[in-house]
Amino acid sequence: MRGVSTRNYSAILPDACEAVGVSKSSISREFVLASEEETRRLCERRFDDLDILIVYIDGIVFAEHNIIAAVGVDSEGYKHVLGIA
């Protein structure tokens, strides 16, 4: 998440890697948990207080997944991710 791949994390943690149990699998598990929580928070947001004037819906193929996203633009011109699937 800081620009270091899980294969190269030991380069930034030379002494602590073995001592504290920082492994590729534990980093991956932590990332999955953190991203699941953030995705849940994103999907449960409410937009009752926004004046959405425009909704853009678009899709992209990423690997073997089809991703559809909706973005709303409010009356002040700010964009808000409304949802992803």
Residue-wise pLDDT tens for the chain (85 aa)? Answer: 456 566 665 566 654 555 555 566 777 878 888 888 888 888 888 989 999 999 999 999 989 999 999 999 999 999 999 988 8
Per-residue pLDDT at 23:
64
pLDDT of residue 13: 60
| pLDDT for position 7 | 63
**In 10 A of CB 73, how many CB atoms?**
16
Q: Encoding tokens for residue 70?
A: 């909706």
pLDDT confidence of residue 51: 94
| Confidence at residue 70, expressed as pLDDT on a 0 to 100 scale | 93
For 82, phi then psi, to 5°, come to: -85, -30
In the numeric block, the tokens 């947001």 are attached to 45
Query: How far from 76 is each of 10, 35, 47, 53, 83, CA to CA, in Å?
Result: 45, 29, 14, 9, 20
